Structure 1
Amino acid sequence: MTCMCIDTALSIVFQKLGYIVGKYPGYFVLVPFFIACILATGLQRLRYEDDPEYLFSPTDGRSKLERAIIDEYFPINYTQNFNLGRITHKGRFGRLIITARDGGSVLRRSVWNELMQLDSAIKNLTIEWDDKIYRYQDMCAKHEFKCFNNDILDFDNKIDDIEANRYFLKYPIWVNHETYKAYFFPAYLGGVQRDANNIIESAKGVNLMYFADTTIKNGDIRGQLWEQRFLDFAASVQFENIIVSRFISTTLQKELDSNTHSLVPFFSITIAIMLVFSIGTCMMFDWVRSKPWLGLMGCLSAGIAVIGAFGLCVYCGIEMIGINLAAPFLMLGVGMDDAFVLLAAWRRTNPTMSVPKRLSHTYAEAAVSITITSLTNFISFMIGIITPFPSVRIFCIYTSVAVLFTYAYHITFFGGLMAYFGEVERRNLHGLICIPVLPKSLAEDKGFFFRLLCTGGRNPNDPDNPKDNKEHMMMIFFRDVLAESLNRPLVKLLVISVFLIYLFIGIYGCSVIKEGLDRRKLSRDDSYSIQFYDFEDKYFREYPYRIQVVVNETMNYADPKIQQQIEDMLRKFEESPYVADKSMTESWLRSYLTFLGQDDSFLFLQALNVSDPLDFYRGLRDIFLHFPLTEQFRFDVVFNEDGSEVIASRYIIQAKNILDANMEKEMLISLRGIADSFPFHVTIYHHYFIFFDQFVLVRSISIQTITVAAIVMMAISLIFIPSPSCAIWVAFSIISIEIGVIGYMTLWNVNLDSISMINLIMCIGFSVDFSAHISYAYISCNERTPGERVKSALYSLGLPIFQGSVSTVLGIIALAFAPSYVFVTFFKTVFLVMLFGATHEGQSSDNKSLHLSSKLPQPYHFKTTNLQTMQKELPFFTAEKFFDGKTIVHKNGGPIYIPRPSYINLACNISVEGSKSLSVSDSSVVAEKDLGLGTSAEECSESSWKAAESKIDHHVDMIVKKQPQRIIENHHVNDGYLSDSLEQSTDASKMFVTRSKSNDTEMVEPRRNFKNNRQSRIGPTNGHEERMNRNILPPSLFNHQQQNNHHNLNRFIPMSYNRYLEEYPSTRQRLQSYRIGSLKPNRTTHRIQQDPDIILNRNEMNTSSYHYFDYNLHWDSRWSGTVPANQNKTDNSNFQ
């Protein structure tokens, strides 16, 4: 009941808002537009963020804490002690990977000569800053005041011997016994081929590195200038025998910028596509009801909403990032979907009403659906804000605000424009050029192109002419073709089989999902960095990372037990499948203990007692760390102020065979697990671990975020759609769609990373848009069989879901052609969720069990061969009619025309011989509020009582037989009746029946101004006297054959008569007397039901020989229920 109240309250609020918008449209157009213009000025203060480390690493990542520990104990000085294996920050650098153009070994003289030329040219590059010229030697990172040098170039004079197999180098580490210098070849040579003794035979690539000193004054600025000069030179240089691949420290940043710029040209393409689609969808063959300009205005509304939202975010100090440019594409699709909802709801209103009232009814129906979809999308993005990835958080902030602005602008700015073009329709003007046009029924003698391009509207003299009131062919397709197909057993079996196959493939895809955002995926497809990444992954993955292991705890390293603990720690790391053996580990403690164990060590240690901690540390500090081969260990031991203790120590291990992001993640998890297993503090670090943290956290964060979002979406669905079974099916659809999207995106080469996480969060909201509303439409419709419910649901929502899906896909289709993984991922995931969401809507409704049908009683059935239908020539109420005892005829003897109403009633199910069987597949469909996401009709919809009301206004025919009689007033009070204001009705607003005992006559009259007099007298009914200001559809006439049946009259009218008069003043009709035809009673149980030809409300009267039937014109699903039945049930067998 609470959920119903929320729904009803929203309808009332939006109904009032719609009336105000329709009354004063200028304010709602101009004010939002100027607000957007003011907020757009915030874009001048744009602060662009493109640091990949900040954007794509978690803010609370463990690596950032580990780096802080390393920086505290082992800060690196680029001026004095730069060491390639011990860097903690990337700094400013340039890297080159050189490969042979013929694909052969680089250890050849022809290749090596060009390589040396390249190195010399790079070292001679100059930049100008502050009126000074700087070369590489002036700004390079130094060790012992010497520029960092690529050690592999030391073999220039030996390359001929190496090529001729006269000089041998051992891989991976080789020590020159002449200079005692150690060479670590994996840092420089890639794709190394070696023999059984690890002697290098050939190498496919050479890695050259150049580091700038950023620790000196203005060093970072100069380093940035030099990087750009380095990049430009490497791009321009050409050699005969080598291929040069380049990379600098800001390549990722520059590629993110390049990604953003690559998307700008697609804005115009997307806008053009959306304009064509939106204008085309808003057009009809009826040019009065066509709204092409509103299609254009829908795009404009979404555009200015996004501009205003972005401006507000910038004013709030939120950084702008490149992937935010995907938001306008998304909002364009979502905004057009909202526009379709409003336009379709508008077309279901009564065209004879004033524009403010039509807009109030439009808002009452459509604005609630827009609110639900906008709310689910908004909350989905708000949940994304809690993620620890700044890129996800920033995007979700911008997009959530854009969703709110798009929603607000469509119910204000776009609503005001609807009011203006509604006035164009009211005046029967052409929807495109705003000139008067003829209805199609009056333009039959005109030419083909005139009828095609210059006709529309209704003929005021014949408003229900079928030529001016045609059904939408797409709605007919969903009802009569698609729904009929889905109801066939063979098709159902096929659908279930396809679904199981889909689910199996999706689950398989989930099982092989890859995690992590590879660096190359942040670059454009045509970027220079792609070649570098490819060569690096191909040739330099055997020994990729030198990992620092730090014990940041004061320990007595002179104690043999501590020494054994450190040795056990290193051995445990080296036993990991991701770490190389001990030959590639750098340990000052191992080397020092080896030195102490040598026979000649006493020559250096003299009288030191190394078992004593002070002597142990004195020999380490003053003697061992000064040898040429061990001087690098000086930066791995941190003493306290007096040198009596070691407060931190560092060891270097080597990662091996790390081939992709998944292995990087597994390596990091494994090594951290080992580090955490020791009783003392152990920290592991590499400057790439900052990015690897994303790989570790993305799965758990995605699961948590998606789960929270799904639960919240189900809660929202349950609030607005109060049905537990519906919530269950919504949950099932969300789970199924998410499995499909994750599984199929994996098979479509999309990893689970921060980019795809954004899309998965977003897809939760999109999937609810489909599943919740189609499930609710299926459950809440009033058909008895599952097949009929499928028809009803697809007739109501098939077209709008199709439009919503297509508009969203078209909004982001340009992203599919962007040369960027980031934006292509957006397209792939949104496309998948639209595809799976749209296909789930039919499937989810068809597979539900019909738990309500058993609660509904069986309908009455009777036959009448005398009731016929024909095309009427004149309005029915202008012709004289009489009853000849067998049938109702014109005075000229012809059969009459009884129009088909389209309402939900408290009624019997009636089957008329010769007519269609009971089905929503006819033009009579369930009269309800808009059930969901989209709305049903573009040209004509009968899923709303408002749409059907327009038919009643013009189709009603009154059966008149003037018989002045004595009138007796009978009152039938329904205490549960609710008026439009949701209050219990008063006597003044209830209906009563006046009956005549003589001459078998009775009539229906609304109660008006009778106060509390329950025996007020009404004069005889005059067929030509206007007795009421509203149109009431008359009961049918039947021969009465059975007398003295006692029945209870039960009425359930969900709209007050006074409100009825107020809302529809243009359809006034006369109240007439009716003769009752032949009818025998059936069961006395009542239910909601409808017939494609006649809808009756059985009202059984006490102490009467006549049976009264009438139409409930204003049934709404909010008041659904079963009317109490008479205790004296009658037999069904006599009812013919």
Structure 2
Amino acid sequence: MFYTEKLLAVGVDNVFILLSAWRATNVADSLMHRMEETFSDAAVSITVTSLTDLISFAVGCLTPFPSVQMFCAYAVAAVIFTYVYQLTFFAGIMVLTCRREVEGRHCLTFQKMKKHVRPSLKMIEKGKSKKTCKSGFVFTLWKPLQSIRLTNYRLAHESDIMQGQYYATGNLAKTYQYEDRGFEKNHALARFFRTTYSDALLNPVVHLIIITAFLSYLGLAAWGCANVKLGLEPNDLLPENSYGKRTLAVAEKYFSDYGSYLHVWMYNLSKVDLGHRRLWVVLEKEIELYEHTEFTSSSDSWLRTFLNFVQQAGLLITPENFVYILKNVFLSQPRYAKFNRDIVFDDTGNALEASRIPVQLRFVGACNQSRAMHLFRRLAETSELNTGVYADFFQFAEQYNAVLPGTLSSIAIAGVAVVCVSLLLIPEPIASLWVTLSIVSINVGILGFMTFWSVRLDFISMVTIVMSIGFCVDFASHLAYNFAKGSNIPASERMRNALYAVGTPILQSASSTILGVSFMASAESYIFRSFLKTIILVITLGALHGLVILPVLLTLFYCDSKNNNDE
């Protein structure tokens, strides 16, 4: 369920792109022509974003964290499904909806509504208005309301259409032609992006402000990246007001110097050739190495207790009787029976096979867990005995070691793949370059501002960052593609057209995504709150790049020397 909640907004921007392209078509055109225009305008754009999403999540499957792998595999399936769904089922829904509108049916009950609607001239030509046909002539009861402009033939030969008169259909076609009302019919917000908003972005003073703010943002984000905190703390896995979290907080406050134990075990001891040295002497020296580090203190050593017992009992141990005294004398004492779990004999019972010694840890916190783990492992690797070490914090220290390289490699691989896809499908290479730089900028911003919002880089935020590659590519690719497909027009006009086409869908997608995860604001778990904060950063930075930064950069640094033709 957690994965489903995260993927609620995947592909939603493509739906808004399709709806925006549909609204931009001429309502007087046939259904087939409107669908052709819609998908010729939007299909390539949503293919670019779906393919880049797919690559981003597929790269995430290569990370070393199973939780991230499962999420990314789930996301790959979701991206494929939503893409096929949008081009098939959703397209069919659009067709049925248009037919419902043409037939004047209610959007919920699908019953025909009784509404006095005067037909357009296009409807008269197609024979769909209330009329009387007589020898190729049309008798109309109403004057057309469709916005029209006069042709030269109309000015020279015809007067205005009058109610209740006959008109030859051939003359009607010569007399009137239609204006494309797509701009007036489209969303008011889309018109705002094309006019008022674009005018503001084209202002040189606004250019200077945006570029200055962008450079400041990069500097601040870079500083945050240098100070990002790594890893997931044990108490982060507990609800905010739970008993366990309160207990851990008290323990951290009053007893933070000493924590759990480092478990040191030596194995295959029966097969070790020590020459003339005695096994218990070698074992004791090994344990002393672990007791004299900056992260440990004394140990609860069965061997040291055994040697003290032998000395107090006045016994003499030799290589021949060492195991016998240990097994039949020492461990048979009730007060020493607890050491039975730390000692393993071979199948014959005549040789020591494995030994475990718990060593007390101290001063091990989140900031030095990785360093402590590497120190203990180096001691184990340099031992002449087969030695292994483990402590409870190792699972978190392993995360610290893997999360940053894993995140950076995922960003790098996905970035290269996205560049290749963009170069293939976006007409202008310079636009593909800015898409790539936007991806880098957004991910730097996410990592940097996580520091200011007290979010650590762990496997939870790593999932979101991998997902952010897809989200930020969506916003940037939609705008870059619509900017690049212009023909023989200046960069400023391309920017207007691009914002008109995708400005509203980007804003709608960003809003719907944030609304989709807003329920997590009331969650007490750090995991949910961490995801919410990271996704807000992803969507906010992605929308700002798609609607503010990228349009300005494309306008300022676009070269008009090469013009492309519309497909």
Taking structure 1 as the reference length, what is the TM-score of the superposition? 0.41
- Compute the displacement of 1:807 (Å): 2.3
Select 1:497's aligned residue among 212, 235, 242.
212
Partner Cα distance (1:742, 1:771) in 2: 19
Q: How do 1:653-692 residues align onto structure 2 when only pairs under 5 Å count?
A: 653-660=359-366, 662-686=367-391, 689-690=394-395
Confirm or deny that 1:748 pairs with 2:427: no
Deviation per CA, 1:495-520, whole angstroms, max 9, x where unpaired? 22222222222222222322333333
Find the counterpart in structure 2 of residue 570 from structure 1.
Answer: 287
- Compute the displacement of 1:654 (Å): 0.9
Partner Cα distance (1:559, 1:633) in 2: 27
Partner Cα distance (2:481, 2:11) in 1: 23
- Specify which structure has the bigger relative contact order, considering alpha-carbon pairs within 8 angstroms and separated by 6 or more residues: 2
Find the counterpart in structure 2 of residue 1012 from structure 1.
Answer: none
Find the counterpart in structure 1 of residue 520 from structure 2.
Answer: 815
Partner Cα distance (2:489, 2:368) in 1: 57
- SS of 1:544's equivalent? strand
Q: 1:785 to 1:702 in 2, by over 3 A?
A: same
Find the counterpart in structure 2 of residue 604 from structure 1.
Answer: 315
- Compute the displacement of 1:747 (Å): 2.3
User: Contact conserved, 2:435 with 2:473, CA < 8 A, in 1?
Assistant: yes
Find the counterpart in structure 2 of residue 553 from structure 1.
Answer: 268
- Compute the displacement of 1:568 (Å): 4.7
Q: 1:785 to 1:393 in 2, by over 3 A?
A: same
Partner Cα distance (2:393, 2:265) in 1: 16
Deviation per CA, 1:564-588, whole angstroms, max 9, x where unpaired? 65455334323332222xxx21233
Deviation per CA, 1:975-1022, whole angstroms, max 9, x where unpaired? xxxxxxxxxxxxxxxxxxxxxxxxxxxxxxxxxxxxxxxxxxxxxxxx
- Compute the displacement of 1:623 (Å): 3.8
Partner Cα distance (1:324, 1:466) in 2: 43
Find the counterpart in structure 2 of residue 716 from structure 1.
Answer: 421
User: Contact conserved, 2:20 with 2:186, CA < 8 A, in 1?
Assistant: no
- Compute the displacement of 1:437 (Å): 5.4
- Compute the displacement of 1:401 (Å): 2.3
Find the counterpart in structure 1 of residue 566 from structure 2.
Answer: 1117
Q: 1:672 to 1:343 in 2, by over 3 A?
A: same
- Compute the displacement of 1:545 (Å): 0.8
User: Contact conserved, 1:441 with 1:467, CA < 8 A, in 2?
Assistant: no
Deviation per CA, 1:914-961, whole angstroms, max 9, x where unpaired? xxxxxxxxxxxxxxxxxxxxxxxxxxxxxxxxxxxxxxxxxxxxxxxx
User: Contact conserved, 1:759 with 1:830, CA < 8 A, in 2?
Assistant: yes
- SS of 1:418's equivalent? helix
Find the counterpart in structure 2 of residue 523 from structure 1.
Answer: 238
Partner Cα distance (2:251, 2:214) in 1: 42
Deviation per CA, 1:725-784, whole angstroms, max 9, x where unpaired? 333322221111111112212322222222222111111111111223333444453567
Find the counterpart in structure 1 of residue 256 from structure 2.
Answer: 541
Partner Cα distance (1:520, 1:687) in 2: 13
Q: 1:457 to 1:408 in 2, by over 3 A?
A: farther
Q: 1:593 to 1:468 in 2, by over 3 A?
A: closer
- Compute the displacement of 1:834 (Å): 1.3
Amino acid at match of 2:5: A
Q: How do 1:380-395 residues align onto structure 2 when only pairs under 5 Å count?
A: 380-395=56-71
Structure 1 or 2: larger helix share?
Answer: 2
Partner Cα distance (1:477, 1:665) in 2: 53
Deviates more, 1:390-399 or 1:732-741: 390-399
Partner Cα distance (1:709, 1:562) in 2: 54
Partner Cα distance (1:706, 1:345) in 2: 31
Q: How do 1:879-1028 residues align onto structure 2 when only pairs under 5 Å count?
A: none
Partner Cα distance (2:435, 2:180) in 1: 42
User: Contact conserved, 1:424 with 1:431, CA < 8 A, in 2?
Assistant: yes
Select 2:559's aligned residue among 852, 867, 873.
852
Partner Cα distance (2:182, 2:472) in 1: 39
User: Contact conserved, 2:26 with 2:180, CA < 8 A, in 1?
Assistant: no
User: Contact conserved, 1:614 with 1:644, CA < 8 A, in 2?
Assistant: no
Find the counterpart in structure 2 of residue 374 from structure 1.
Answer: 50
- SS of 2:363's equivalent? coil
- SS of 2:264's equivalent? strand
User: Contact conserved, 1:805 with 1:835, CA < 8 A, in 2?
Assistant: yes
Confirm or deny that 1:805 pairs with 2:510: yes
Confirm or deny that 1:326 pairs with 2:33: no
Find the counterpart in structure 1 of residue 125 from structure 2.
Answer: none
Q: 1:832 to 1:643 in 2, by over 3 A?
A: same
- Compute the displacement of 1:675 (Å): 1.8
Find the counterpart in structure 2 of residue 640 from structure 1.
Answer: 346
Q: 1:527 to 1:593 in 2, by over 3 A?
A: closer
Find the counterpart in structure 1 of residue 82 from structure 2.
Answer: 406
User: Contact conserved, 1:523 with 1:820, CA < 8 A, in 2?
Assistant: yes
User: Contact conserved, 1:786 with 1:846, CA < 8 A, in 2?
Assistant: no
Find the counterpart in structure 1 of residue 247 from structure 2.
Answer: 532
Deviation per CA, 1:284-323, whole angstroms, max 9, x where unpaired? xxxxxxxxxxxxxxxxxxxxxxxxxxxxxxxxxxxxxx52
Confirm or deny that 1:840 pairs with 2:545: yes
- Compute the displacement of 1:706 (Å): 3.0
- SS of 1:513's equivalent? coil
Amino acid at match of 2:74: Y
User: Contact conserved, 1:507 with 1:739, CA < 8 A, in 2?
Assistant: yes
User: Contact conserved, 2:523 with 2:529, CA < 8 A, in 1?
Assistant: yes
Deviation per CA, 1:442-463, whole angstroms, max 9, x where unpaired? 9xxxxxxxxxxxxx98468785
Amino acid at match of 1:852: C
Select 1:353's aligned residue among 22, 26, 29.
29
Partner Cα distance (1:776, 1:742) in 2: 27
Deviation per CA, 1:693-736, whole angstroms, max 9, x where unpaired? 43443333333333322222222222212544333322221111
Amino acid at match of 1:492: H
Partner Cα distance (1:526, 1:416) in 2: 49
Partner Cα distance (2:368, 2:429) in 1: 44
Partner Cα distance (1:431, 1:1116) in 2: 39
Partner Cα distance (1:386, 1:438) in 2: 59
Q: 1:792 to 1:363 in 2, by over 3 A?
A: closer
Find the counterpart in structure 2 of residue 900 from structure 1.
Answer: none
User: Contact conserved, 2:23 with 2:186, CA < 8 A, in 1?
Assistant: no
Amino acid at match of 1:658: V
Confirm or deny that 1:396 pairs with 2:72: yes
Q: Identity percentage over the alignment?
A: 34
Q: 1:588 to 1:722 in 2, by over 3 A?
A: farther
Find the counterpart in structure 2 of residue 769 from structure 1.
Answer: 474
Deviation per CA, 1:825-867, whole angstroms, max 9, x where unpaired? 33222221111111112313423564633x36xxxxxxxxxxx
Find the counterpart in structure 1 of residue 223 from structure 2.
Answer: 508
Q: 1:1117 to 1:326 in 2, by over 3 A?
A: same
Partner Cα distance (1:821, 1:389) in 2: 19
Partner Cα distance (2:236, 2:488) in 1: 52
Structure 2 unaligned residues grouped into runs of 5+:
122-143, 149-160, 162-175
- SS of 1:734's equivalent? helix
- Compute the displacement of 1:416 (Å): 1.9
Partner Cα distance (1:762, 1:471) in 2: 31
Structure 1 unaligned residues grouped into runs of 5+:
1-321, 443-455, 857-1087, 1089-1114, 1119-1136
Q: 1:576 to 1:556 in 2, by over 3 A?
A: same
Amino acid at match of 1:648: A
Deviation per CA, 1:227-246, whole angstroms, max 9, x where unpaired? xxxxxxxxxxxxxxxxxxxx
RMSD value, Cα: 3.6
Amino acid at match of 2:293: S
Taking structure 2 as the reference length, what is the TM-score of the superposition? 0.78
User: Contact conserved, 1:337 with 1:807, CA < 8 A, in 2?
Assistant: no
Q: 1:850 to 1:777 in 2, by over 3 A?
A: farther
Q: 1:702 to 1:471 in 2, by over 3 A?
A: closer
User: Contact conserved, 2:239 with 2:526, CA < 8 A, in 1?
Assistant: yes
Amino acid at match of 1:496: I
Larger Rg belongs to: 1
